[in-house]
Structure 1
Amino acid sequence: MESKEFTAKTTEEAVRLASEYFNLPLGRLKVEVINAGSNGILGLFGKKKAKILATPTDANSTSMEVREVMRELTGEETSKPSPNRQASRTYTNQGSNDRHGETPSEEGKTTPQPESPEVLESARQVLVRLVDPLDADANIIGESTQYSIELKIDSHEIGILIGRRGQTLEALQYLTTRIVSHQEGRPVRINVDAGDYRKRRVESLQELASRMASKARGTRRPVAIGPFNAQERRIVHLALRNERGLSTSSRGRGEVKKVIISPRY
């Protein structure tokens, strides 16, 4: 497919230009950062603009490319899993913990505080800039809860903003979270929704988990569902954590894995 270079003051702005040029959502662009840009000395001398190479991808592409762009932007290195690391984890109704946050942990628990109005508005403005190439008329509202910043998009282009299986929405949430966390110098939890997609997705996954749990009990055999991303797997684990006689585990490698529902005797 056609590739094209884009230059702007920041990598974020260059990605937006690419999205506008190809008229594609962020989740369907493969982006290579050629130069992350520099503010120079005292912001006056030696300034360099950011340059990227953008290539449209097919509809089956995930937001992995977007994650790579943000790793370049924030200077993070892509972590590689250890070859000795197990590919699956098991959860029971006693509530096992997971390093990737698929199930809640009680250790070191502190009372979260809502983000300040300034951080909330900063997050909203970042999302406005990201959504603008897709729908300039979209309305974005936000609120700061005890656990996260909740941003909701009201748009006539809901289908485009959600994308196939929520991939574009996931990319928007990831980009917003990475940019705001980078600006604040600390992790900031941000949830982005459009057309109540995430709410409906949670309800759908909970219903599926309940139905497959009944099947596992009835057949007395493990049942595999998915594959799901980490957030979706967490929903399934939590939905079944209080089910007696059942355990759930994540199986597979990479970010997308299956959930195995197993009867316990």
Structure 2
Amino acid sequence: MSKVSIEKTGKTVDEAVQAALKELDLELGDVDIEILEEETKGLLGLGRKEAKVRIYFSTEDDPAETIKLFLEDVLSQMGLSPEVTVTEEEGFYKADISCNDSGLIIGRRGEVLQSLQFVTSQVVSRAYDSRIRVLLDTENYRDRHRVYLEDLAKKTAEKVLKSKRDFMLDPMSSYERRIIHTCLQNNEYISTYSVGDEPNRKIVIAFERNGKRSSY
């Protein structure tokens, strides 16, 4: 058994607790409750503030269910209506997210999706006291973005070969740089390497002169 938590808001503490119990399909005796914020009525209805609680509960030894519950809770707090499907792959868990605004989950160049993936992996790994890899996707974004990056890599490599000049791409995550590197690693006339510091690290596609470099 592993202990995890979700957060809920409501007009009152009791309403927030009941909403959490309904979502989890649990009884009051099955959970521990931490009141994060009491409700406030405000003055003449102005400045009213909802109550917020954190509900701790035990799960069976099924990381997939924990991943699903965690993501649905976080995304609901973002104002979304998510449906999360988690499958166990070889060496990791893949969570496919369907919701009313996938663009909000993806963010600029996938930054929100990548951050949410990191946080989910950290939370679940801590809950099970074991390193658990999680891959998040929505609306097949991962495949679409990979195709875009591979196309960018090939077109930039063509420019490099024609001009015999190096080209530096915009800042990318290590995941994106790895896709660029892998796409071009078998081209004997092209080398790839990265410069700068995170989060502004950039990949350079260079004309091969004195031996290939491949650092991403």
- Is TM more than 0.5 here? yes
Letter in 2 for 1:163: G
* C-alpha contact 2:106 2:112 (8 A) present in aligned 1: yes
CA displacement at 1:125 relative to structure 2? 1.5
Distance 1:179 1:11 in 2: 10
2:93 match: 149
CA shift digits 1:120-154 (9 cap, x unpaired)? 22112211111112345311111111132110111
Q: Aligned-pair distance for 1:165?
A: 2.4
| Rg larger in structure | 2
- Give, in whole Å, the separation in 2 of the partners of 1:221 and 1:179: 45
Within a 5 Å distance, the mapping from 1:125-204 to structure 2 comes to 125-204=69-148
Tell whether the 8 Å contact from 1:150 to 1:191 is kept in structure 2 after alignment.
yes
2:62 is paired with a residue whose SS is helix
| Correspondence for 1:232 among 173, 176, 181 | 176
**Aligned equivalents of 1:183 and 1:152: distance in 2?**
21
What SS is found at the alignment partner of 2:137?
strand
Deviations 1:209-232 (A, max 9, x none): 011111111111111112101111
Post-superposition offset of 1:117: 7.7
Matches within 5 A, 1:1-265: 13=7, 118-265=62-209
Output the TM-score relative to the length of structure 1. Answer: 0.55
The one-letter amino acid paired with 1:125 is L
Question: When the two structures are aligned, how many residues end up with a matched partner?
Answer: 162
Distance (whole Å) between structure 1 residues aligned to residue 74 and residue 35 of structure 2: 19
| Corresponding position of 1:32 | none
CA separation of 1:238 and 1:182: change in aligned 2, threshold 3 A:
same
Q: CA deviation at 1:248?
A: 0.4
Letter in 1 for 2:105: L
Q: How far has the Cα of 1:48 moved from its partner?
A: 8.5
Displacement of 1:183 in angstroms is: 1.1
What SS does structure 1 have at the residue aligned with 2:96? strand
Q: Deviations over 1:145-170 (max 9, x none)?
A: 11321101111211222223222222
Residue identity opposite 1:259 in structure 2: I
Q: Distance in 1 between matches of 2:5 and 2:198?
A: 26
From the superposition, tell whether residues 255 and 185 of structure 1 become closer, same or farther in structure 2 (CA, over 3 Å). Answer: farther
**For the residues of structure 2 that align with 1:161 and 1:48, how far apart are their CA atoms?**
28
| Deviations, residues 217-252 of structure 1 (Å, cap 9, x unaligned) | 111111111210111111111111111121100110
Task: Give the root-mean-square deviation of aligned CA atoms.
Answer: 2.7
> 2:91 & 2:206 partners in 1: Cα distance?
31
Structure with more relative contact order (C-alpha pairs < 8 Å, separation 6 or more): 1
Distance 1:238 1:143, change over 3 A: same
Gaps of 5+ in 2: 10-31, 38-59, 210-216
> Where is the strand percentage greater, Structure 1 or Structure 2?
2
C-alpha separation between the residues in 2 aligned to 1:117 and 1:241?
A: 41
Instruction: Tell me which amino acid in the other structure corresponds to 1:204.
Output: Y
